[in-house]
Amino acid sequence: MALCTVTILPDDRVLEVESGSLLLQACFSQGVAIDSPCGGRGTCKKCRVIVDGKEDLACKVIVDRDMSVEIPEDSRLQKQQVLLDKPGEGLRALKWELKALNPIAQRITLRLDMPTLDENTNDLDRVRIALRKHFGADSLISLNALQRLPEVMREQNGVITATMVFNGRFWKMIEIVSGEAQRPLCGLAIDIGTTTVAISLVNLETGVELAKRGRYNLQSVFGSDVISRMIYAEEKGDDGLQQLHKASIDTINELIEGLLEATELQRTDIKAAVVAGNTVMTHFFMGVSPKYLRLEPYIPAAIEFPSAQARRLNLGIHPDAFVMTMPNVASYVGGDITAGVLATGLHEIQGDIALFLDIGTNGELVLGNAEWMMTCACSAGPAFEGSGIACGMRAMDGAINAVEIDPDTWEPRLSTIAQQPPAGICGSGLIDVLAKMRAAGVIDRSGLFNRKAETSRLRFLDGEAFYILAYAGEYGNDKEIFLSEDDAKNILRAKGAVFAGIKVMLDNAGLDFSAIDRVIIAGGFGSFINVSDAIEIGLLPDIDEAKFSYVGNRSLHGALELLLDRAKIHSCRDIANGMTYLELSNGNHFMEEFVSAMFIPHTDLSLFPNRYR
Amino acid sequence: MALCTVTILPDDRVLEVESGSLLLQACFSQGVAIDSPCGGRGTCKKCRVIVDGKEDLACKVIVDRDMSVEIPEDSRLQKQQVLLDKPGEGLRALKWELKALNPIAQRITLRLDMPTLDENTNDLDRVRIALRKHFGADSLISLNALQRLPEVMREQNGVITATMVFNGRFWKMIEIVSGEAQRPLCGLAIDIGTTTVAISLVNLETGVELAKRGRYNLQSVFGSDVISRMIYAEEKGDDGLQQLHKASIDTINELIEGLLEATELQRTDIKAAVVAGNTVMTHFFMGVSPKYLRLEPYIPAAIEFPSAQARRLNLGIHPDAFVMTMPNVASYVGGDITAGVLATGLHEIQGDIALFLDIGTNGELVLGNAEWMMTCACSAGPAFEGSGIACGMRAMDGAINAVEIDPDTWEPRLSTIAQQPPAGICGSGLIDVLAKMRAAGVIDRSGLFNRKAETSRLRFLDGEAFYILAYAGEYGNDKEIFLSEDDAKNILRAKGAVFAGIKVMLDNAGLDFSAIDRVIIAGGFGSFINVSDAIEIGLLPDIDEAKFSYVGNRSLHGALELLLDRAKIHSCRDIANGMTYLELSNGNHFMEEFVSAMFIPHTDLSLFPNRYR
């Protein structure tokens, strides 16, 4: 097998690659992740690289010789940062108090009598008897802990501290040290989004969140949405599944590395992990094929996965830690929504009716309160995460997140994250741009561009129309930033799907928009979403803006909540089992509602009484 | 680090060895096992090798240059064979019948309805619900089985066969195939003796024993008895423990290889294993230090070890198989005795009083019946296994197992195993030789040689006396075979310890020898033991010879019994917990009895009324 040398520029990193490999795959397998929303099908053109000075797509280049490959910043996945709350910010809202801590892993210091010739109980039974007093039932013991027991027990004259972990069914002793505990006892919350993975490290004995990290899911190289990743896995067979599983684990392990470095902790300090992800992400994380979830009758391998040992998943925490996944609700409403509901407390709301929206790569909606809950998933598509939009980008430095447009000159005034030169448009920016373009008359209610206007901000080419937000160089930006007519259609499709989902749920409950007392928005917008704009374009219903709140990443917080209170295992099951799932593709009037909602704000203006009376 | 080349002769195998290594260790670590009963302390002189033509001991030679090392047949461990019953012979006595099979692993074929749009239960719950009908409770599921579930379920339209294993507490599904089962479902019984390891492969669905194998314990390189191995492990710290653990696993894995080759089965066909070993062997097998078992107050790490996954022990069977160890009784009465009692049914004997003797490297005794049981361990030493005897050997081809001595001329007539030229004397041979030497007057009752006799069969040298059973070349044998006065003393010590143990137990029960209704002999003698001789020298009590039976390796059969009937888990616990353990070194009159028993047959001839009236 011949090897070729691929020199990655500008890093000057040298990869040895088997001749005949695809450049995209070869880079990925050696940790150089190139953006490829379409999963290497050659349709998205995002994996642009410069091979020996000539532009090409990484998914098209076969490595058949030594080559140099420049990967422009835009095409790189791992450079992209994810915005997160500051550690503790989200948790503060949860109001953990020490007395209420009931964590999923705990430590018990035992003061054992040392054996004598007359009282010669063996070491294991001595510990078992002491533990039974705490737990009322027999605990399991890991082989590692057992192997250390004889020495540890005698080091400090019978004083030992056992680390016990709970998996919802039984306790297991996974570590044992002599004397009192020396090291922090930590748990890890993991939110696996299709696009973004976020993790949070929490001290289970104090409830203090120590650090958090986010990054883009390395699975993105296999496609930007769950469907294209499932297709990739299916086409490549077991090997494809393994690649997606490994990408998921690698993403998390790299984040863990960062956490450990920042906190100076050891991986073995992390004794438990809770994972919240959508149903497909959870399958890939567990190494289980989600194939049949995509094929009629759309059956997941599992709704509630059994806990797994970290060792078996190669997760970089204590090898004997239990890894629990949040129970899923249905094929396209996953454990991330269960976690989100848990964290927002929607399932405990008395009287009021609440609407929970988690709009990320997909849109999942929950309507209800403590009495009843209903949920659905609408394939909003990743437009709000910047995907499928020519100048779309995620909410990071330089993203345009708001705009003003002069109604006379159509000249825009931009606002960007961290006041950096504009690099693209993020989700909240897209909503704002669309609302402002409509208000100024640049587009009509169906998203069509006004072709009569005369301004250099508008350009028409081969029947396609473009509104230029920033000329190349205008603000120190390299390239032109625009919104095309196609982009506008994509956004309308995405917002239409969400709005239609809300409408269908309300109809099923026999309610209208006025029945909604609270709207809780979570997900990938970042905290920049302008509710007024979102109502203006018909993404959100036209109700009192005071009823809306933005809560950030609630999936991660739901996972943290379970780590800190193991009784929530039952709440999670109740939430997942208690929700009525509406299948929008089947037997509902979603399609009609969707078509009607693909206008600004809607074909039926009476639904927006405050805006269009 | 410089490497030296060690060429092993006559095999011509070349080892690369770090300069400065000890030859004994270097050979062992690369699978060339040299006999070293003293554990490399230089005291036993058994590890004789020829280094570049000069004789030396492998435990003395530092590899500091390229060298050739001839390892004589005598010094090799792995060439030595172990005699076993033929497969099925022992089991036939257990009378397994298909209807009574209640094995520790079983397979269930489920005929699941395939999901539809209306009945869309997920795969895992579909299987769980079906399994709950069989087991009445929830089962666990291995990650591997879960990962295969979606495909397997759909291959033959919902017909699947699940392999379930039981660990005494819960059932776990460890494998799943589509349709009916294709491969045999096997279990492995393992008897880890200090000297010999024997394994037996059984089909758990038919109860048929498929094959068995035995070999010498590779741990022997660290010492011939448990004490020297414990000292070795202790002196080398964690690394020493690892070496002993690994030697134990390697021994078993090599035996498994042989079984698989002979039966054309795959390692994953073996879904369960039960291990019977003495307390120290069980600790080493589990990788747990037995250190504190040797130091006052003599506490084992565990009496009943939790089951372990084969994967975690590197045992070469199905990685998710549970490995159970027979519960131990006390520090020096182990799971092998629990298994032996189970297999002989001593714990179920009504009325009669039985004595169970397991004489291997150590001697363990059990006295009692269904009402009560008492046990003790007497350090008989490995004399009956040929160790510590100049011309001693294990019971294999060429071993002298019986002898006649002409009372006038003192000329011997030898009987050897498989009628091969004599190579040494095995345990049963030693008993016979001693009895016949005493009968002919070659030795007196205390084992002293008659120094007045004039025959070339007797030789005196530096105060030591030798009785020559075979001159060099007399029967085609290379070297002279003799029994020395020292050897006689060693045998008297060994037999004295056993007899004293029996006497102390009877005294504690307030019984005398006539109370014994049955004597069940198990262990390393092979089936050659001559009961009359053994009574003659005072190893066995002088009661009706019809009361004695030899049962072979009962530990292995006990392990097989548990594999085939999981309800026996409770019997094993009851046996282990129900036996009263007599500590002979502490607070009993063992020492006086031992001193009195070091004569032929005893100082108190009234104990042998039928022989010496």
Per-residue pLDDT at A25 exceeds 60 = yes
Among the residue ranges A42-46, A538-542, A602-606, B55-59, the one predicted with the least confidence is A42-46
Contact assignment for B117 to A141 by CB distance below 8 Å: no
B239 touches chain A (CB under 8 A): no
Across the range A410-416, mean pLDDT stands at 94
Check whether A251 has a pLDDT greater than 90. Answer: yes
State the nearest Cα–Cα gap between B151 and chain A, in angstroms. Answer: 8
Q: Which residues contact A306 (CB under 8 A, 6 or more apart)?
A: B124, B140, B141, B143, B146
* Nearest CA-CA partner of A149 in B307, B292, B244, B167: B292
**Chain A interface includes B146 (CB < 8 A):** yes
Interface test mutation site (partner B, options A288, A322, A332, A577, max chain B beta carbons within 10 A): A288
Rounded Cα–Cα distance for residues B252 and B285 (Å): 10
CB B123 to CB A301 under 8 A?
Answer: yes
pLDDT of residue B186: 97
Q: Is the pLDDT of residue B77 over 50?
A: yes
Question: Residue A45 phi/psi, 5° resolution?
Answer: 60, 25
Asked if pLDDT for residue B288 goes beyond 60, the answer is: yes
B575 touches chain A (CB under 8 A): no
Query: A76 in helix, strand or coil?
Result: strand
Average pLDDT of the segment spanning A489-498: 94
Instruction: Yes or no: say if A34 and A61 are a contact pair by the CB < 8 Å rule.
Output: no
A239 exposed, middle or buried (CB, 10 Å; 0-12, 13-18, 19+)?
exposed
Round the average pLDDT of chain A to a whole number and report it: 90
CA distances from B455 to A70, A265, A456, B403 (A): 97, 80, 128, 18
Mean pLDDT of chain B: 90
Give the tens place of pLDDT for each residue, B429-446. Answer: 999 999 999 999 999 999
Residue of higher predicted confidence among B417 and A37? B417
The residue assigned the tokens 């520090």 is: B331
For residue B1, the model assigns a pLDDT of 67
3 state SS of B572: helix
CA gap B518, B525 in Å, rounded: 19
Tokens read off for A591: 């399609």
Strands B412-416 and B399-405: antiparallel
Q: Which residues of B434-453 are buried (b: 16+ CB within 10 A; e: fewer)?
A: bbbbbebebbeeebebbeee
pLDDT, position B100: 65
Specify the pLDDT at position B96.
Answer: 46
Work out the burial of residue A471: count CB atoms within 10 Å of its CB; fewer than 13 is exposed, 13-18 middle, 19 or more buried.
middle
Nearest to A177 by CA among A121, A127, A102: A127
Q: For residue B524, what pLDDT is reported? A: 64
> For A151, which of B289, B296, B586 is closest by C-beta distance?
B289
Nearest CA in chain A to B148: A288
Q: Is the minimum CB–CB distance between B116 and chain A shorter than 8 Å? A: yes
pLDDT attached to residue B74: 74
A251 touches A215 (CB < 8 A): yes
Percentage above 90 pLDDT, chain B: 68
Q: For the sheet with B140-141, list strands across it.
A: B105-111, B159-166, B171-178, B140-141
Q: What was the pLDDT predicted at A92?
A: 41
- Residue A191: its H or E element: strand A186-192
ipTM > 0.85?
A: yes
**Residue A462 structure tokens:** 């081969």
Question: Are A302 and B146 in contact (CB < 8 Å)?
Answer: yes
Neighbours of A607 (CB within 10 A): 19
Q: Is the per-residue pLDDT at B328 higher than 50?
A: yes
Tally C-beta pairs within 8 A across A and B: 116
Whether the per-residue pLDDT at A81 is higher than 90: the answer is: no
Confidence class of residue B394 from pLDDT cuts 50, 70 and 90?
confident
Whether residue B535 contacts residue B541, with contact meaning beta carbons closer than 8 Å, is answered with yes
- Closest chain A residue to the Cα of B290, Cα to Cα: A150
Is B302 in CB contact (< 8 Å) with chain A?
Answer: yes
B125 at interface of A, judged by CB pairs closer than 8 A: yes
Q: Is A523 near chain B, with CB under 8 Å? A: no
Secondary-structure percent of chain A, ordered helix, strand, coil, rounded to 5? 35, 25, 40
Q: Cβ of A124 and B301 within 8 Å?
A: yes
The four Cα atoms A372, A378, A382, A385 give a dihedral, to 10 degrees, of -30
Strand pairing class (B270-277; B322-325)? parallel
Q: List the strands of the sheet with A548-552, edge to edge.
A: A548-552, A518-523, A354-359, A363-368, A373-378, A579-582
E-strand stretches of A419-503: 424-425, 458-461, 464-470, 481-484
Residue A483 in tokens:
């919104």
Over range B40-51, report the average pLDDT. 83
Distance CA A344, CA A373 (A): 13
Pairing of strands B13-18, B3-9: antiparallel
Q: What is the pLDDT of residue A86?
A: 53
Length of chain A equals: 613
Q: How many helices (H) and strands (E) does chain A have?
A: 16, 29
- Return all residues near B77 (Cβ < 8 A) that are at least 6 apart: B33, B34, B35, B216, B218, B220, B221
Worst-scoring range by mean pLDDT, A160-169, A350-359, B170-179, B372-381?
Answer: B372-381
- Check if B143 contacts A (Cβ < 8 Å): yes
List, in sequence order, the alpha helices (H) in B446-567. Answer: 485-509, 531-536, 554-564
Q: How far is B354 from chain A (nearest CA, A)?
A: 28
- B287 contacts in chain A (CB < 8 Å): 143, 147
Please tell me which of the candidates B288, B298, B313 has its beta carbon nearest to residue A150: B288
Cβ neighbours of residue A112 under 8 Å, at least 6 residues apart? A126, A127, A130, A153, A158, A159, A160
Residues of chain A with C-beta less than 8 angstroms from the C-beta of B112: none
A287–B115 C-beta distance less than 8 A: no
Shortest distance between the Cα of A302 and any Cα of chain B, in A, equals 5
Residue A526 confidence (pLDDT): 55
- The percent of residues in chain A predicted with pLDDT above 70, rounded, is 95
Q: Which of B380, B376, B426, B384 has its CA nearest to residue B401?
A: B426
Distance from CA of B121 to the nearest CA of A (A): 7
**A286 shares contact with chain B (CB less than 8 Å):** yes
Angle between helices A554-564 and A568-578 (to 10 degrees): 140
Q: CA-nearest residue of chain A to B303?
A: A122
pLDDT band at A422 (very low <50, low <70, confident <90, very high): very high
Mean per-residue pLDDT, A448-454: 89
